[in-house]
Structure 1
Amino acid sequence: MDKLIDKIIEKKSPIVAGLDPKLEYLPQSLLDKHFKSTINLETAAQAILDFNIEILNNIHDIIPAVKLQIAYYEMYGLPGLKTFIETANYAKSKGLIVIGDVKRNDIGSTAEAYSNAYIGYTPLQQQCVQAFPVDMITVNPYLGTDGIKPFVDNCKRNNKGIFVLVKTSNPSSKEIQDLVTADGLKVYEKVAQKVNEWGEDLIGNHGYSSIGAVIGATFPHELSQLRKLMPKVYFLVPGYGAQGGRAEDIMGGFDDRGLGSIINASRSIMCAYRNKTWSSKFSPREFALASRAEVLHMKEEIHKALMSKKSDSHKIN
């Protein structure tokens, strides 16, 4: 987690850009370029790669990290997975931390295989290779410690990180995550306790563990509550922008240093050129410039909210 936090401090930007592309997000000029003669999975994946690279070229200096949701690449089969890998490699070449949003979990040897694929190494007789070039991934805690331990082990061995789903941004998360257990705690609170436990041996120089948590921006009360319950756990916060989360909603996830959370925005960045705020300033061909403008706007909004929070804290004290 220290590497991510160092980048956040360096860029003065607690923002992770989600590259979760679909063809319908791409401007017509890119579609025309790649679909001149053939429309298939290969040409679709190449169009998406060009889209990703152009956005990265325009935002890499103002963000610390990029998050790639693998489902949007799996949709395009093997060519899509190749684009996932090539996008990750390109992001790393630009100095970005790469988070693989893969939400993996299982038990025993299967969990170990998932873990090795993303944050470990695949043995090839006398050598080991990295299958997917990511620094951190998201994981599902539903199977308990059996399913998490292989990921924690690779975090220890390889200086990697994970974000465990705790309180997710979707409305129906309440159906399971808010159920009350026998001791009066909700399921997400019990998961929070386990995340603390799993990461207690992995506290870094900034005071945060390599075992982070996913907490949705759409639940600001729970975000503040979980910051208190998990003082050494870094939060990956989805739900900002297109899902309705606002800068003031996410303040509860930050500590008094302005650390503690990295805020994800995906559609609002990728499709910024369609937003009425930017469509009058940038043509569809300038989609990546619109993405940059949106990131800068998001950065400013978060900074203002953090300054307001700091000011309010001083008034109380």
Structure 2
Amino acid sequence: MTGAGNHAPFGARLAAAIAARGPLCAGIDPHAGLLAAWGLPDSASGAQRLGTATIGALAGEVAAVKIQSAFFERFGAAGVGALEAVLAAARDAGVLAILDAKRGDIGSTMGAYAEAYLADDAPLRADALTVSPYLGLGSLDPAFELADATGRGLYVLALTSNPEAAGVQHAAVPAGGSLGGEMISQVSDRNQDVPAGARDVPGSHGVVIGATVGAALDRLGIDLTGFTGTVLAPGYGAQGASAGDIAALFGPLAAAGRVLVPSSRGILAAGPDPDALRQAARDSARELATAFAR
């Protein structure tokens, strides 16, 4: 369904962007150290300038941008205004924007989060939103429903790389398997925007699986072969995973253009010079494309 937003579903738009520009997603994380390195103040205006400059430099170079909401929210109302401006800049530049906010709640509260980020008239609307399912995937129904109605997408936390996650996400469930694996299966089932007979087009709802989870997929018996969406795989570069590691971890899914790889420090460390940012993105994109094609 195209939804009220009068555009194709997020999954189809992301697939087209990956096919055109590769699997690289530029992270926009304006923390204090990065702002200082760019010669910008540690303020809402500094965060906005970094975000809009990154989008201006990388439009047409990357498949998407992933904007970390917390680094804007820390400045209060001015920071939220800066986030709004950066999201608007992405829309104006035709760059898919994933808002990394990891929201998760129940009932009307989850509905309000959905309206804040997924409604067509929301000032903070993004093309996709990261969400936490650990109050039960059903708690996210308002977000799934609004995303489906407006052609947007969700990325559901499934297997993250932080050491503390294993105690929750690797836990066994009564039906067999792990909690993280069950989330992957349920998200795959939620992709209602994939037309019958068009399984080469990913659904709009994906999962977050850390690029550094290593053997966890095999150990937990998780098979991604039939997954209907895309995987957002943080951990590339400065966080320890190489392009080859990601290709080995996700195999055919990566080769099929179903894995989106965020990189923040590896790209933004080259700023603020726009040409240097573009070159850093091209180098990373080339490395990923070579590894995924093997």
Deviation at 1:238, TM superposition (A): 0.7
RMSD: 2.1
SS at match of 1:166: strand
After superposition, the Cα gap between the structure-2 partners of 1:227 and 1:240, relative to the gap in structure 1 and judged at 3 Å, is farther
Matched, 1:75 2:74: yes
Letter in 1 for 2:128: M
- Looking at structure 1, the residues matched to 31 and 65 of structure 2 have their Cα atoms a distance apart, in angstroms, of 17
**1:20-31 equivalent positions in 2, closer than 5 A:** 20-27=29-36, 30-31=39-40
Give the % identical residues: 28
Aligned residue for 1:170?
A: 162
Deviation at 1:175, TM superposition (A): 1.8
Aligned residue for 2:259?
A: 261
Aligned residue for 2:206?
A: 212
- Looking at structure 2, the residues matched to 262 and 28 of structure 1 have their Cα atoms a distance apart, in angstroms, of 27
Where in structure 2 are there 5+ consecutive unaligned residues?
1-10
Higher RCO structure, 1 or 2 (CA under 8 Å, sep 6+): 2
Letter in 1 for 2:23: P
Matched, 1:138 2:148: no
Letter in 2 for 1:158: T
Aligned residue for 2:283?
A: 297
Deviations 1:138-168 (A, max 9, x none): 1111111431111111122111110110011
Aligned 8 A contact 1:23 1:48 in 2: no
Structure having the larger proportion of residues in helix: 1
- Looking at structure 2, the residues matched to 106 and 230 of structure 1 have their Cα atoms a distance apart, in angstroms, of 28
After superposition, the Cα gap between the structure-2 partners of 1:298 and 1:95, relative to the gap in structure 1 and judged at 3 Å, is same
- Looking at structure 1, the residues matched to 38 and 161 of structure 2 have their Cα atoms a distance apart, in angstroms, of 33
Aligned 8 A contact 2:15 2:201 in 1: no
Letter in 1 for 2:206: G
After superposition, the Cα gap between the structure-2 partners of 1:61 and 1:181, relative to the gap in structure 1 and judged at 3 Å, is same
- Looking at structure 1, the residues matched to 162 and 245 of structure 2 have their Cα atoms a distance apart, in angstroms, of 15
Give the TM-score, by structure 2 length.
0.86
Deviations 1:269-296 (A, max 9, x none): 22235xxxxxxxxxxx63x433222211
Aligned residue for 2:3?
A: none
After superposition, the Cα gap between the structure-2 partners of 1:28 and 1:7, relative to the gap in structure 1 and judged at 3 Å, is closer
Deviations 1:34-74 (A, max 9, x none): 6xxxxxxxx81112222222222222121121111111111
SS at match of 1:30: coil
Aligned residue for 1:47?
A: 46
Aligned 8 A contact 1:20 1:68 in 2: yes
Aligned residue for 1:221?
A: 215
Once structures 1 and 2 are overlaid, which stretch shifts more, 189-198 or 247-256? Answer: 247-256
Give the TM-score, by structure 1 length.
0.81
Matched, 1:3 2:13: yes
After superposition, the Cα gap between the structure-2 partners of 1:227 and 1:10, relative to the gap in structure 1 and judged at 3 Å, is farther
Where in structure 1 are there 5+ consecutive unaligned residues?
35-42, 122-128, 274-284, 309-317
Once structures 1 and 2 are overlaid, which stretch shifts more, 247-256 or 152-161? Answer: 247-256
Count of matched residue positions in the alignment of Structure 1 and Structure 2: 277
- Looking at structure 1, the residues matched to 270 and 212 of structure 2 have their Cα atoms a distance apart, in angstroms, of 21
Aligned 8 A contact 2:23 2:260 in 1: yes
Once structures 1 and 2 are overlaid, which stretch shifts more, 58-67 or 223-232? Answer: 223-232
- Looking at structure 2, the residues matched to 189 and 100 of structure 1 have their Cα atoms a distance apart, in angstroms, of 24
Aligned 8 A contact 1:117 1:130 in 2: yes
